Amino acid sequence: MLIDNKSIAIVGGGPAGLTLARLLQLKNAHVKVYERDVNKNARVQGSPLDMHEDSGLAALRKAELLEEFKKNFRPGADKTLILNEQAEILYSDHDTKPEEDFGHEHFRPEIDRGPLRNMLLQSLHPETVVWDSHFISMEPKDKGWLLHFKNETSAYADIVIASDGANSKIRPYLTDIKPVYSGIIMLEGNVSKEAAPHIDALIKGGKIMAFGNTQNILIGQKGNGDLGFYASFKADENWATRSGLDFSDSTQILRWFKKEYAEWSNIWDELFENAKYPFIPRPIYYMPLDQTWESKSNLTLIGDAAHVMPPFAGEGANMAMLDALELSEHLTDQQYKTLQEAIFHYENNMRNRASAVTKESLENGERMHSEKALSTMVEFFTAHLE
- Show binding-site residues for NADPH: 43
How many angstroms separate the CA atoms of 218 and 200, rounded? 13
Burial class (CB in 10 A: 0-12, 13-18, 19+), 297: middle
How many angstroms separate the CA atoms of 292 and 173, rounded? 14
Q: Which residues are documented as binding site for FAD?
A: 50, 113, 304
Q: Which residues are documented as binding site?
A: 43, 50, 113, 304
How many angstroms separate the CA atoms of 9 and 137, rounded? 13
Which amino acid makes up residue 351? R
How many angstroms separate the CA atoms of 126 and 99, rounded? 34
Residue 303: which residues within 8 A CB-CB, separation 6 or more?
A: 12, 14, 16, 17, 163, 165, 316, 319, 320, 323, 324
How many other CB atoms are found less than 10 A from the CB of residue 88? Answer: 10
> Is residue 8 a contact partner of residue 32, using CB atoms and an 8 Å limit?
yes
